[in-house]
A and B are shown apart, each in its own frame.
Chain A
Amino acid sequence: MTVTIIVKAILYIILAPLIGGTLSGLDRVFSARMQGRQGPPLFQPFYDVFKLLNKQTTVVNSIQVLFVTGYLIMTVFTGALFFAGGDMLLVFFALSMSEVLMVMAAFSTNGPYSIMGAQRELCQMMCYEPMTLLVAIGFYYANGSFMVNDLIQAEKPAIMYIPGFFIGFVFILIIKLRKSPFDLATSHHMHQEMVKGLTTDLSGGNLALVELAEWYDLVLMMGIVGMFFITANPISRLWAIIAVSCVFFLETLIDNLFPRVKYITMLKVTWTVILVFAGTNLLILNVLK
């Protein structure tokens, strides 16, 4: 039993950067095609990270390196815990921990853009943290366990019980994957009012670590989307993959359709969506029990 857990965790650690990098390359190709241009090669994110690793790393202070490395390690730990079949609650708590480390890295640099990015990242966390916690609770309501290992043995897919949670989660994924209407903390497209937000003062190897952590994070998020569809039946895995592809395409589409909003709008919209869909769903589940 422990051997399978370790093997799954190691598989995640090895495969996730490959899958995550390819997905993020796909994202860039899709975006380019939506804008009517050819776009970069599919493996462009790998070239970028390789280049960053070959660049000189200038650091503002030494604690920054510790926080950035901590961010990567905590993200990898979170994902490994999820894919090895661990506790959903612990997964989400470790995920917030990794985000906090990234915010600390940005605060430690004392640069105006970094600090602005860090503050906005805290706002974003305020928006999506309730939903991530609710997802764990939703899975518990649906299948009576917090353990991923038990959840994938369910008889009926979780989406049958908690469709509202699914909508809420897909909505906060826009924030989590740093997509356009809500990419407040790191403006992804070319120079905007806050340069690169959180990652402004990172360079070379440190920036490469952040990119790597984002790939791990992307795979983890897609894994959680897949969790809504997976049952004991092996065919359900196919449905999960189809659902993940649809959600990923939807996120790219949203990224290209909407301009960035202010943080207050983000807070209002996100909490409204969470309250309407996830809250109603939770109430119904409570009544039916």
Chain B
Amino acid sequence: MKISKSPWVLHYDGSSCNGCDIEVLATMTPLYDVERFGIINTGNPKHADVLLLTGGVNAQTAPVIRQLYNMMPDPKVVVACGICACDGGIFKECYNILGGADKVVPVDVYVPGCAVRPEALIEGVVKAVGILEEKKKKLKESMKAGYCTVDYSKIAIHMTADDYDPTNQYDAVLTEEALRQQAEEKIKATAKPAPKPAPAAAPKAPVAAPAADNTKKGENA
């Protein structure tokens, strides 16, 4: 059984013109019937797997989006719905708009459109669900390795606009690679110096060397 059979979505409007919101809600209606894919619109970040973001992000909604993202349990994916959520769209140059949703949270799927079509949105969520499946595998691997993909001590929740500083926001959530590097460095630092892999590797080396010699000779000849 795959976890992609029941993606529960959460929809948040970060300063959208409401065009995309109407389309998102239209997708949830009996006409398009997304429940046949197991998709349910939960109003609750703690139950959600997919975060649908509409509209460009401004200074007031950025901390809210970050908090919603942080409250969702792993594995989770973010879908930017509509061109404004993708990169700011027509509002990009506005003084209060920070840009697309990827300015505050890592976005997995970009669904363009003004406003986004329900068909495109369903396609986007289906793509996101594939990513969700991959993320689940990665999460399991990282749990086995002994570290989690998200470092919760690093997550800061900013509740007011004054608190918000766009220069340090995105760094609060570390990428998976950065976390893995950090964890590996930590493991290296704390672990005892590893015993040399001499006995196992020693007999292999001489075998490899002549082979290399042979090829060299062959090339030369």
Q: Which residues of B contact A262 (CB under 8 A)?
A: none
Q: Is B127's CB within 8 Å of the partner chain A?
A: no
Listed residue (B3, B37, B47) with the most chain A CB atoms within 10 angstroms of its CB: B47
CB distance from A95 to the nearest CB of B (A): 26
- Tell whether, in the assembled complex, residue B46 and residue A203 are in contact, meaning their CB atoms are under 8 Å apart: yes
Q: Which residues of A contact B36 (CB under 8 A)?
A: 32, 37-41
- Tell whether, in the assembled complex, residue B41 and residue A56 are in contact, meaning their CB atoms are under 8 Å apart: no
- Tell whether, in the assembled complex, residue B5 and residue A55 are in contact, meaning their CB atoms are under 8 Å apart: no
Q: Which residues of A contact B41 (CB under 8 A)?
A: 190-191
In this complex, how many residues of chain B approach chain A with their Cβ under 8 Å: the count is: 25
Q: Which residues of A contact B139 (CB under 8 A)?
A: 56
Per DSSP, are chain A's interface residues mostly helix, strand or loop, or mixed? loop
Chain B residue nearest to A45 (CB atoms) is B6
- Tell whether, in the assembled complex, residue B73 and residue A203 are in contact, meaning their CB atoms are under 8 Å apart: yes
- Tell whether, in the assembled complex, residue B5 and residue A47 are in contact, meaning their CB atoms are under 8 Å apart: yes
B residues 136-168 touching A (CB-CB < 8 Å): 136, 139
With A40-B38, A44-B6, A195-B43 known as contacts, the answer to whether A55 contacts B49 (CB < 8 A) is yes
Q: Which residues of A contact B122 (CB under 8 A)?
A: none
Interface size class of A (residues with CB under 8 A): 20 to 34
Query: Complex formed: what's the CA distance from A8 to B5 in Å?
Result: 33
Q: Is B33's CB within 8 Å of the partner chain A?
A: yes
Q: Is A155's CB within 8 Å of the partner chain B?
A: no
Query: What is the number of contacts between chain A and chain B, taking CB atoms within 8 Å?
Result: 80
Q: Is B175's CB within 8 Å of the partner chain A?
A: no
Q: Is A174's CB within 8 Å of the partner chain B?
A: no
Listed residue (A46, A51, A196, A200) with the most chain B CB atoms within 10 angstroms of its CB: A51
With A37-B30, A40-B36, A191-B43 known as contacts, the answer to whether A204 contacts B73 (CB < 8 A) is yes
Q: List 28 A-B contacts (CB under 8 A).
A: A37-B30, A37-B33, A37-B35, A39-B33, A39-B36, A40-B35, A41-B38, A44-B6, A46-B1, A48-B38, A50-B5, A51-B3, A54-B3, A55-B3, A55-B74, A57-B73, A58-B46, A58-B71, A190-B28, A191-B41, A191-B43, A191-B44, A195-B44, A196-B43, A196-B44, A200-B44, A200-B46, A203-B46
